[in-house]
Amino acid sequence: MSAMTDAPDVAAGWSLLGLPPLPATDGLDRHSAELDGAGAYQDRLVSDGGRVHRLADVNQGQAADAVHAYTVGREGILPQAADLGNRVTVTSSLLRVAKEVVGWFGDHLAEIAVVAGAVVVTAPELLPRLRSMAGRLFAMLRKVMEHIGNVFKRLSAIYQKKRENDVAVVLHRKWIEDFRLKKGPNATRPKSITKEVDAAWRKKHGDEIDISRAEYHELPPSLQAENGASARVALDIVDDAMKRGVDLKSEKFMEDAASKVHDKWLERNPWAPDHQKLPYGQLSAIEQEKDRVVVRAALDHWSVRLAERTRGARDALRMT
């Protein structure tokens, strides 16, 4: 927004028009610059990771396969970094668009305010028309800002869904590991798929799936739902604790968080057997550990793993 909107004659006319204050944009440039820096860092990470991948690509063996998975696999450092870099770059661009939009409308409203200050003395009968014009312009500004806000909300929802999916993937794999330890490596766990929400999945894949042999993304929606809900609860708990400066490594945090995960699980599963309906503190050690697993998965959320992989990639580069 230009300095024109802060001029005394504009302020007087603004009052005559009955306009509310414009949205504050003072900090948007700083936020955009910080996001641009974060996006540039992720781009460098992708570039450096590409060097590691190319080095592994000319070799063979388990170590080379591990580096390949580490860099370009489904959860590899390169797709993770590229995805994050793209998101922060888009967000930065949206902030700049928001500032430009407010500035454009603000300048035009300021011009109307200056005219209002003049006509109130020379032609007061024109003031209602100016108020109507300014009101329509301000309504347009609100509508445009609402659309920009909706884009932010959609981006936020996509980001949150990805976080939940990352944690849910870990929870499902952990369940498979525990299942095979208890039942043996050749054990199976077939599930009949009957719910209406899975109709599209059933049409494509059939009426049954062995969940002990399927990745999370291969499961029908109804079987993804519980892990997704648990992931969402645990991430919210960890996010809140981070904001409040809670020691995430403390036993107290773990037990408090696990208790909340258990309470939310009971809300979603009122049919649970009696031994699982007990308060968290009265559960068996085995049942308590199930809730702790969910909290640990959230703590090991992909953003933390990304930071660890960044350090690992740099170490690998220093060895080349």
pTM assigned to the model: 0.59
* 76 Cβ contact list (under 8 Å, min separation 6): 69, 70
User: Is the predicted pLDDT of residue 75 greater than 60, yes or no?
Assistant: no
In this model, does residue 16 exceed pLDDT 70? yes
Q: How sure is the predictor about 60, in pLDDT bands with cuts at 50, 70 and 90?
A: low
Residue 54: its pLDDT value, please? 55
pLDDT in tens, 212-258: 999 999 999 999 999 999 999 999 998 888 778 888 889 999 999 99
The contacts of residue 283 (CB under 8 Å, 6+ apart) are 262, 275, 276, 291
- In this predicted structure, the answer to whether residue 314 has a pLDDT above a threshold of 80 is no
Q: Is residue 145 within 8 Å of 23, Cβ to Cβ?
A: yes
Residues 45-57, mean pLDDT to the nearest whole number:
56
Proportion of the chain above pLDDT 70, given as a percent: 77
Average pLDDT over residues 197-212: 94
Q: Which two tokens stand for residue 287?
A: 């049942």
Question: pLDDT value at position 190?
Answer: 95
For residue 156, count other CB atoms closer than 10 A to its CB.
Answer: 12
Distance (Å, whole) CA 71 – CA 56: 10
Report the C-alpha gap between 92 and 94 in whole angstroms: 5
Highest mean pLDDT among 74-78, 170-174, 311-315: 170-174
84-140 pLDDT, tens digit per residue, is 666 677 778 778 888 888 888 888 899 999 998 888 888 989 999 999 999 999 999
> What region does 184 belong to: left with phi over 0, alpha with psi -120 to 50, or beta?
left
Q: What is the pLDDT of residues 134-168, one digit of tens each?
A: 999 999 998 988 888 887 778 777 778 888 998 99
Place of tokens 């005394």: 8
Residue 13: band (very low, low, confident or very high) from pLDDT cuts 50, 70, 90: confident
- pLDDT mean over 67-74: 51
- Three-state DSSP at 212 gives coil
